[in-house]
Amino acid sequence: MTEPWKTENWFVSPWNYQPEVTAGLTFSPRIKIHDITLRDGEQQAGIAFTKEDKVRIAEMLAEAGVHRIEAGMPAVSVEDEAAVKEIVRRNLGPEIFVFSRCMVDDVKRAVDCGVKGIVMEIPCSEHILEYAYRWPLEKALDLSIQATAYAREQGLYTVFFPIDATRAEMNWYLNLIERVAREGHMDALALVDTFGVLSPHAAAYFVHKTKERVKVPLETHFHGDFGLGVANTLAGLAAGAEVAHVTVSGLGERAGNAPLEETVMALLTMYGVDVGLNYEKLTSLSQTVRRLSGLQLPSNKPIVGDRLFQIESGIITTWFKNCGYDHATEVFPFRWELVGHRAAETVLGKSSGIDSITMWLDKMGLNATEEEARDILAQVKEASHRKKGLLDEGEFREIVQRVLKTRS
């Protein structure tokens, strides 16, 4: 019998679905994924996408079913503006947004690009206004009110984006937001943890306190400086935020943003929230972004890591041998096909066991006695230790031939 925690594609903890756990969770019935790879993702040091790169990534985001694409910041360069215009021209399916400062000239550029919406930034903590911007509060307010009102006049869906909100005093921050909403305009408000300094418990508090005072849809924008971008995004969505800002594989300034793949897969498997993506596109999307950006991910990166479904450990190899492909979720929390990954495979290294050897011998159509297999295993371990890595088929075959020669 299929349960939400155990389907043909995944097997997670049933505790996730206990009433004591789910009580109080208020997920929106329609959560949108707003991908910011082409803007915030590109801000990661050393990444520079060409116009062609951006169009290709946008195409793949559309194929994956992402609802909104933040295509860039037209004010950055002529090339960025051209990329946004080309993405809009392609009419790929997702709503296309741009990012801008709270300046009327930036809004004019957005209008010229033909986008659906605009995300408008302004500093909102007292200390960042004083030390980083050296602005008086009234300047930030005046710019925000003028620019957001102008965006509404131009028919743009306007997301107000207060920088460094999570290090501001709560009432000071909310008073600022209320004034912009009252005197300017916002269709939605981004909850911005610019420096990744929020805890998951505080993320829920952030949503609840904002909802008490501001009556517009809320969007999460959480960075990963302490590794909590996904956890905070989940907590924010569970508290009622309606849109998640994410990047492919967590690209972004400093430690990056909440990764698209981890966020949507956690929603699907642990909360039963299907955001409607084509999940089987996640791995190829990540691989393309890595290739175009030059980014290298850890091989065990959640969801899309290159070696995520490789098994070296002898005991896990035995589990996989016993379970087979039909019961693979006894060994993995989700199946590789779900995210478009390569099929699970046993690899050879220092941690291999006797079942690893017999499986490889069977795959290559070779026979060995139990004693020979153990000799092969010992030599595999020794060779892997010397190499400090996995052995390939050629290296394994050499060991097998060397051992089996003693038979004759």
**The pLDDT value given to residue 139:** 79
**The pLDDT value given to residue 123:** 73
**The pLDDT value given to residue 30:** 95
Q: What is the pLDDT of residues 156-190, one digit of tens each?
A: 999 999 989 999 999 989 998 999 999 999 999 99
- One domain for residues 283 and 382: no
Does this model's pTM top 0.85? My answer is yes
**With bands split at pLDDT 50, 70 and 90, how would you rate the model's confidence at 142?**
confident
Arithmetic mean of pLDDT over the chain: 94
Has residue 263 been placed in a domain?
yes
Q: What is the pLDDT of residues 27-67, one digit of tens each?
A: 999 999 999 999 999 999 999 999 999 999 999 999 999 99
> What is the rounded CA–CA span in Å between residue 268 and residue 270?
6
**Residue 8 pLDDT greater than 80, yes or no:** yes
Name the residue range of residue 317's domain.
310-405
Task: Tell me which of 293, 325, 346 is where a domain ends.
Answer: 293
65 φ/ψ sector (left φ>0, alpha ψ -120 to 50, else beta):
left
- One domain for residues 166 and 240: yes
> What is the rounded CA–CA span in Å between residue 383 and residue 392?
11
**The pLDDT value given to residue 133:** 72
- One domain for residues 274 and 326: no
Has residue 168 been placed in a domain?
yes
DSSP letters for 5-37: TB-SSBB--GGGG-HHHHTT----SS-EEEE-T
- One domain for residues 275 and 315: no
Q: Which residues, 6+ apart, have CB-to-CB distance to 155 below 8 Å?
A: none
Task: Tell me which of 231, 263, 293 is where a domain ends.
Answer: 293
Contact 91, 131 (CB under 8 A): no
Count of structural domains within the chain = 2
**Residue 127 pLDDT greater than 80, yes or no:** no
Q: What CATH number is attached to the domain comprising 142? A: 3.20.20.70
Has residue 301 been placed in a domain?
no
**Residue 68 pLDDT greater than 60, yes or no:** yes
**The pLDDT value given to residue 408:** 54
- One domain for residues 243 and 321: no
- One domain for residues 326 and 186: no
- One domain for residues 30 and 165: yes
- One domain for residues 316 and 176: no
Report, as an integer, the average pLDDT of 124-130. 73
**Residue 306 pLDDT greater than 60, yes or no:** yes
Q: What is the pLDDT of residues 247-258, one digit of tens each?
A: 999 999 999 999
**The pLDDT value given to residue 407:** 62
- One domain for residues 329 and 257: no
- One domain for residues 337 and 194: no
Has residue 303 been placed in a domain?
no
Quote helix, strand, coil % in the chain, to nearest 5: 50, 15, 35
Has residue 9 been placed in a domain?
no
Has residue 4 been placed in a domain?
no
Q: What is the pLDDT of residues 318-336, one digit of tens each?
A: 999 999 999 999 999 999 9
**The pLDDT value given to residue 375:** 94
**The pLDDT value given to residue 143:** 81
- One domain for residues 139 and 269: yes
Has residue 1 been placed in a domain?
no
Has residue 305 been placed in a domain?
no
**Residue 406 pLDDT greater than 70, yes or no:** no
- One domain for residues 37 and 140: yes
Task: Tell me which of 228, 259, 293 is where a domain ends.
Answer: 293
Helix H or strand E encompassing 101: strand 95-101
**130 compared with 58, residue with greater pLDDT:** 58
| Percent with pLDDT over 70 in the chain | 99
